[in-house]
Structure formats: C-alpha cells, structure tokens
Amino acid sequence: MTVYLKSNQPCHVRLLYILANGQKTVLVDNLKINMESINKAMVINELLDIVFEWSSPFGAEMLMQLDAIDHLIS
C-alpha cells in the first residue's frame, strides 16, 4: 500500500490506522510539513522508509489523518 500526503499549509500530521478488529496503530506521529512541501504530493512510504503490507484480520479498515498547525498533543 502506498500512502500519499498533500497539504496546502505548513502543519504537523498524524496518521492512525484502524484495523478490522478495532485495534488502532499510529503509523506516523507529528510529521512536520514545511513551506517547501506545501501543495506537493509526498509519498509517506519514501519519507519514512517504511512498507505497508496487508495482513489479517481482513475486513473494513480505516486510515485517519489528523492535522494541526502547531504540534499535535500526544
């Protein structure tokens, strides 16, 4: 799976992945998007040097993106 991210202003991003069984996993926490990256599609896999792979349990899953202009609260 390839994850792309694009923002129209500088911000901090958190990506949460919710599995079919309800388990929540933080994929990216407080990724800073700076002025140079505005309005450019970024491949999260390449930025963080990670590979997302499908695995069981299979079913309805969600990828949530949370953004904030300041740092995200843990």
Q: What is the pLDDT of residues 6-41, one digit of tens each?
A: 999 999 999 999 988 899 989 888 889 999 999 999
Rounded Cα–Cα distance for residues 67 and 30 (Å): 9
Does the pLDDT at position 54 exceed 80? no
Rounded Cα–Cα distance for residues 7 and 9 (Å): 6
pTM above 0.85, yes or no: no
Higher-pLDDT residue of 53 and 62 is 62
pLDDT for 16? 93
Rg of the Cα atoms in the chain: 13
Contact 22, 51 (CB under 8 A): no
